[in-house]
Amino acid sequence: MQITVNGEKEDIAEGLTLLELIEARGLAPNTVVAELNFDIVPAQAFADVRLNPGDSLELLHFVGGG
């Protein structure tokens, strides 16, 4: 199925959760802010949110530094 991630169309597996997508990208879920179809998804809900065809997802990943 196809969704849009950070403005780019992307094919992903059916039934994938937001948490699975984040982890597949090598990101730590506790450092990610996710906006799905213009709504912020709380981090504790990542595992419960299934992605659907046509979804629009924005992922922001925070990195520490100095």
In order of their start, the domains of the chain are 2-61 (3.10.20.30)
The tens digit of pLDDT for each residue in 10-46 reads 999 999 999 999 999 999 999 999 999 999 999 999 9
∠ CA 2-6-12, rounded to 5°: 25
- Full-model pTM: 0.90
What pLDDT score does 61 carry?
A: 86
pLDDT tens readout for residues 45-65: 999 999 999 999 999 987 766
Rounded CA separation 49/66 (Å): 34
Q: Which two tokens stand for residue 6?
A: 């950070």
Q: In percent, how much of the chain has pLDDT > 70?
A: 95
Give the separation between CA 4 and CA 22, rounded to whole angstroms. Answer: 14
